[in-house]
Amino acid sequence: MVANIRSGSSPGGALRYNKEKVDKDEAEVLFWQKMLEPFDKHGRMDIDACMDSFRPYFEANRRTTNTVFHVLLNPSPEDKLTGEQLRETAKEYMERMGYGDQPYIVFKHNDISREHLHIVSLRVDEQGRKLPHDFEARRSMEILRDLERKYGLHPSVKGEEQADKVGLHRVNYREGNVKQQISSVVRSCLRNYKCSSYGEFCTLLELFNVSVEERTGTIDGRNYAGSVSGSDRRRLRHRHAIQVESYRKGCRL
């Protein structure tokens, strides 16, 4: 099992992305904890209700910038887990990571060949205290190895885990090589997700600190049509152009 941990300033982006998947029957709400009913009277996922559950927590601490804890849990393709097994795995993972008493919502996705989980929570508690996250990646890896042994799951392939870590992480302009970071995120998103619209693809990229804007114009007398993408950390301080080729049966750049 591989975990990909992300953070952000608001859970809205992660919730919207998961709602789009739920609305298209490519995902479902597996369970939630310490939250209001996340559905409206018509049985549709209600982002406002989810935000109302989170709001008292991040309003209690306005100093912390990255208040969101968003993790993807990817079992091995060889593991076919039941809904109950996925629930128990997600619950134990969150407890051992220190988020057992936090509000969180778990989504099961089936938009790629293997089912995987998205968990959205917060890094601050109801008193506004920031939860400790020292050595978070290392602790996460150790917990997953324990869960694999406990539930008899196939161990993660080292190369696959490294590829996931390199390809799918939030762009950080302070690390440099922004163009390379963005390109890696775009390629990994296209490889691991199926987007059926331009808007959905943009929403997905926002989870990795990348924004996309459509651009048309003329360069050296030649017309072009494409997109400009960049890291939205602070202001869009670094950008590069990516030509849009097709969005048929999933967005491809």
What digits encode the pLDDT tens for the residues 195-213? 656 666 776 777 777 877 6
Write out pLDDT tens, residues 2-26: 888 988 888 999 999 999 999 999 9
Q: Do 95 and 156 fall into the same domain?
A: yes
* Domain finish residue from 116, 142, 164: 164
- 250 and 172 in a common domain: yes
Could you identify the residue written with the tokens 């987007």? 195
Taking the C-alpha atoms of residue 61 and residue 134, their distance in angstroms, rounded to an integer, is 19
Mean pLDDT of the chain: 79
Query: Which pLDDT tens digit goes with each residue over 95-137?
Result: 999 999 999 999 999 877 678 999 999 999 999 999 988 888 8
Same domain, 86 and 207: no
The CA-based diameter of the chain, rounded to the nearest angstrom, is 63
Q: Residue 249: which pLDDT band, with cuts at 50, 70 and 90?
A: very low
**pLDDT tens digits, 172-181:** 777 777 887 8
> Do 75 and 18 sit in the same domain of this protein?
yes
Residue 155 — pLDDT band, cuts 50, 70, 90?
Answer: confident
pLDDT band at 233 (very low <50, low <70, confident <90, very high): very low
Q: Are residues 99 and 132 in the same domain?
A: yes
Do residues 58 and 6 both lie within one domain? Answer: yes
Do 20 and 136 reside in the same domain of the chain? yes
Segments forming the whole domain that contains residue 42: 1-164
Q: How many CB atoms lie within 10 A of CB 104?
A: 25
Judged by DSSP in three states, 207 sits in coil
239: pLDDT strictly greater than 70: no
For residues 68 and 66, what is the distance between their CA atoms, to the nearest angstrom? 6
Domain count, the chain: 2
Q: Is residue 250 pLDDT above 50, yes or no?
A: no
φ, ψ (nearest 5 deg) of residue 141: -65, -40
Q: Which of 77, 140, 153 is nearest to 110 (CA)?
A: 77
Domain CATH code at residue 122: 3.30.930.30
pLDDT in tens, 28-77: 999 999 999 999 999 999 999 999 999 999 889 888 888 999 999 988 88
Contact predicate 231/181, CB 8 Å: yes
Q: Does 244 lie in the same domain as 147?
A: no
* 60 lies in the same domain as 109: yes
**Between residues 34 and 192, which one has the greater pLDDT?**
34
Same domain, 47 and 110: yes
Residues 160 and 177 in one domain: no
- Out of 114, 144, 164, a domain closes at 164
Residues 149 and 172 in one domain: no
215 compared with 210, residue with greater pLDDT: 210
Which of residues 113, 141, 164 is at a domain's end? 164
